[in-house]
């Protein structure tokens, strides 16, 4: 899992492995530091998804606030987890992996930030593809 804040968006990329507990807490700290509900969250998952405990930690952080989140995933399991998260954060929306533009529009990202976010997103994806162990390349 790799996480980077950029232009008021928290970019998070999962490989096929589920998030390491320390990485997950770093991701939550990043959201908290930027302000829950103040920054959008852009997630790409190649199959990794938060555990029940990690979803509870996210729910505890969000506490009913609207946290705009776009999840790019084609995995049915990941999309099921997105629906579970929507129970406590109805502002989470799943998008096809190929629909980065739609995800950015959903988050309200100004078009002038698209190129920088897209580039960082691709950099994190490349880092995660090259990671032999999911925790080895954390950007947190």
Give me the tens of pLDDT residue by residue for the chain, a chain 140 residues long: 999 999 999 999 999 988 999 999 999 999 999 999 999 999 999 999 999 999 999 999 999 899 999 999 999 999 999 999 999 999 999 999 999 999 999 999 999 999 999 999 999 988 888 764 444 333 33
Which domains can be identified in the chain, with CATH numbers?
2-137 (3.30.750.24)
- 39: exposed, middle or buried (Cβ count in 10 Å: 0-12, 13-18, 19+): buried
* Whole-number Å distance between alpha carbons of 78 and 66: 20
Claim: this prediction has a pTM higher than 0.75? yes
């Amino acid at each position: 899992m790799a996480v980077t804040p950029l232009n008021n968006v928290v970019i998070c990329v999962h490989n096929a492995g589920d998030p390491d507990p320390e990485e997950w807490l770093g991701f939550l700290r990043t959201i908290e530091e930027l302000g829950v509900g103040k920054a959008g969250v852009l997630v790409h998952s190649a199959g990794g998804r938060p555990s029940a405990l990690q979803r509870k930690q996210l729910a505890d952080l969000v506490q009913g606030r609207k946290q705009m989140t776009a999840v790019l995933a084609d995995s049915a399991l990941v999309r099921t987890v997105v629906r579970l998260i929507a129970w406590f954060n109805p502002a989470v929306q799943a998008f096809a992996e190929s629909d980065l533009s739609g995800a950015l529009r959903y988050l309200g990202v100004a078009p002038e930030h698209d190129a920088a976010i897209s580039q960082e997103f691709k950099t994190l994806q490349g880092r995660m593809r090259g990671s032999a162990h999911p925790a080895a390349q954390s950007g947190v």
